[in-house]
């Protein structure tokens, strides 16, 4: 029985795509490990799989800080912050535990997340064949639109490799024999890739199934435009943005708004608002006409897999890249988070409602996503590489 291991950072959106892939590999007779410093992953591993806690001697990666209800960094500054305050410390702390795992278990093949470049380096050091998993288009897009970002990321990873004693011309990560890309090729400007790059599409995942939601109430709002507003976990307490959404849509008889926010933020919410801290997003999307979001890759792909157009307000990290993919494919509108107001937001919502081209583009991408068979393709590519060893 051959052993395959997923080497992962402790980031939920990077972990969940590997679970259905690993489940199918287990069913095909492989021994499968999930290697990650995230204890909650032990309860997510499919039956028959193994969880290996890296137990890194490091604190949890810092969350993006919020001060005065305002995100402190945007654009290139947020990328710099991501690497210097989160990814570099994390990878340095995990390099030794990753080597220990490879020595103890000796897997035949690994799949290494693109942000865990310490995993690629550990595999290189022990001569373990590995593939790379990519959860967002910006990680592999080397088009000329973001030259500073590309150079900065490459320099950071190469510096890390050299610090660990490996001198290579470029980063090891994404230069493996197989790079699985969990997104649409339409969201990447670069159009020429090595044959090892495989766009398998977004991996469908189930999230927070235990969360209840009043679907019956939402269904009663038939005839109204049902809008989901979600800016990710870091902005559930962003008072200014939430007040702006309320100003734009409160008590409007033509709209029902599902808002992901802390209910305690306001003593009283508009009667046409449904407010919860968490929602079973995949299921809720079955009832939604329009999504307003931060252009997080998972939320965007889940929305498009339901054929829903979007309004994107990118804030940090790679969200600007994802938002550009939305507009370039005609599936929505991009707004500037720091400049948006109630009038602009409402005008943009009506622009999407009144212009059927946005819905048509979103449905076209839905057809593409549903036809990609992303899990089975990923399993097949991994098997091909394992069998060639």
The pLDDT tens digits for 35-94 are 999 999 999 999 999 999 997 544 544 444 434 344 555 567 778 888 888 999 999 999
| 3-state secondary structure at position 311 | strand
Q: How far is the C-alpha of 171 from the C-alpha of 173, rounded, in Å?
A: 5
pLDDT, position 68:
38
234 contacts 293 by C-beta, under 8 angstroms: no
The answer to whether residues 377 and 365 belong to one domain is no
pLDDT, position 62:
45
pLDDT, position 75:
64
Q: Is the pLDDT of residue 152 over 90?
A: no
The answer to whether residues 27 and 172 belong to one domain is yes
The answer to whether residues 115 and 28 belong to one domain is yes
- Over the stretch 262-287, which tens digit does the pLDDT of each residue have? 999 999 999 999 999 999 998 999 99
- Over the stretch 109-118, which tens digit does the pLDDT of each residue have? 999 999 999 9
- Over the stretch 283-329, which tens digit does the pLDDT of each residue have? 999 999 999 999 999 999 999 999 999 999 998 878 888 999 999 99
Q: What is the mean pLDDT of residues 131-155?
A: 79
Count of domains in the chain? 2
pLDDT, position 65:
41
pLDDT, position 74:
57
DSSP state of 162: H
Q: Report the first-to-last Cα separation within the chain, whole angstroms.
A: 14
Residue 248 lies in a domain: yes
Beta bridge partners of 132: 112, 179
- Over the stretch 200-248, which tens digit does the pLDDT of each residue have? 999 987 665 568 999 988 888 777 999 999 987 666 667 889 999 999 9
pLDDT, position 175:
82
Beta bridge partners of 71: 66
Residue 277 lies in a domain: yes
pLDDT, position 78:
77
Confidence tier at 154 by pLDDT (50, 70, 90): confident
The answer to whether residues 53 and 63 belong to one domain is yes
Pairwise pLDDT comparison (236 vs 119), residue with the higher score: 119
Place of tokens 């699985």: 180
The answer to whether residues 238 and 352 belong to one domain is yes
Residue 207 lies in a domain: no
Cα dihedral across residues 287, 332, 345, 350: positive or negative: negative
Q: In sequence order, which residues have a C-beta less than 8 Å from that of residue 365 and are 6 or more positions away?
A: 184, 186, 304, 307, 329, 331
Q: Is the pLDDT of residue 350 over 90?
A: yes
Pairwise pLDDT comparison (255 vs 66), residue with the higher score: 255
Q: How far is the C-alpha of 163 from the C-alpha of 72, rounded, in Å?
A: 30
The answer to whether residues 19 and 164 belong to one domain is yes
Residue 245 lies in a domain: yes
Residue 14 lies in a domain: yes
The answer to whether residues 10 and 156 belong to one domain is yes
The answer to whether residues 128 and 228 belong to one domain is no
Q: How far is the C-alpha of 361 from the C-alpha of 356, rounded, in Å?
A: 9
- Over the stretch 353-381, which tens digit does the pLDDT of each residue have? 999 999 999 999 999 999 999 999 999 99
- Over the stretch 9-39, which tens digit does the pLDDT of each residue have? 999 889 999 999 999 999 999 999 999 999 9
pLDDT, position 77:
78
Q: What is the pTM of this model?
A: 0.88
The answer to whether residues 33 and 99 belong to one domain is yes
* Lowest-pLDDT range of 2-6, 193-197, 270-274: 193-197
The answer to whether residues 44 and 190 belong to one domain is yes
The answer to whether residues 38 and 148 belong to one domain is yes
> What is the token pair recorded at 132?
């790379």
Q: What is the mean pLDDT of residues 342-357?
A: 98
Residue 360 lies in a domain: yes
Residue 206 lies in a domain: no
Q: Which domain holds residue 256?
A: 215-370
**CATH at residue 182:** 3.40.50.2000
| 3-state secondary structure at position 221 | coil
The answer to whether residues 160 and 52 belong to one domain is yes
DSSP state of 193: -
Residue 208 lies in a domain: no
Q: How far is the C-alpha of 387 from the C-alpha of 389, rounded, in Å?
A: 5
């Amino acid at each position: 029985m051959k052993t395959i291991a997923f080497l992962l950072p402790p980031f939920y959106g990077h972990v969940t795509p590997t679970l259905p892939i690993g489940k199918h590999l287990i069913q095909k007779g492989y021994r499968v490990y999930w290697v990650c410093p995230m204890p909650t992953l032990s309860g997510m591993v499919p039956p028959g799989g193994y969880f290996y806690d890296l137990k890194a001697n490091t604190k949890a990666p810092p969350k993006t800080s919020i001060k005065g209800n305002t995100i402190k960094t945007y654009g290139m500054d947020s990328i710099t912050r991501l690497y210097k305050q989160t990814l570099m410390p994390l990878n340095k702390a995990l390099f030794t535990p990753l080597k220990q795992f490879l020595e103890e278990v000796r897997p035949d093949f690994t799949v290494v997340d693109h942000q865990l470049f310490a995993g690629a380096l550990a595999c290189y050091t022990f001569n373990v064949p590995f593939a790379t998993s990519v959860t967002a288009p910006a990680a592999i897009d080397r088009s000329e639109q973001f030259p500073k970002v590309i150079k900065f990321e490459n320099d950071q990873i190469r510096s890390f490799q050299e610090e660990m004693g490996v001198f290579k011309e470029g980063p090891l990560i994404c230069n493996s024999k197989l790079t699985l890309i969990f997104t649409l090729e339409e969201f990447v400007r670069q159009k020429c890739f090595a044959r090892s790059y495989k766009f398998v599409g977004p991996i469908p995942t189930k999230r927070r199934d235990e969360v209840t939601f009043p679907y019956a109430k939402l269904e009663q709002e038939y005839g109204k435009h049902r809008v989901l507003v979600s800016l990710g976990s870091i902005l559930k307490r962003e008072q200014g943005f939430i007040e702006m959404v309320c100003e734009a849509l409160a008590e409007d008889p033509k709209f029902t708004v599902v808002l992901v926010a802390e209910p305690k933020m306001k003593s009283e919410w508009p009667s046409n608002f449904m407010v919860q801290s968490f929602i079973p997003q995949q299921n809720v999307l079955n009832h939604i006409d329009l999504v307003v979001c931060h252009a997080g890759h998972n939320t965007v792909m889940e929305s498009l897999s339901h054929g829903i157009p979007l309004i994107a307000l990118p804030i940090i990290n790679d969200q600007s890249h994802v938002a550009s993919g939305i507009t370039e494919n005609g599936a929505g509108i991009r707004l500037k988070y720091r400049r948006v107001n109630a009038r602009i937001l409402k005008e943009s919502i009506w622009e999407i409602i009144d212009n059927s081209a946005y819905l048509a583009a979103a449905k076209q991408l839905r057809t593409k996503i549903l036809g990609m068979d992303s899990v089975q393709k990923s399993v097949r590519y991994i098997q091909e590489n394992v069998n060639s060893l």
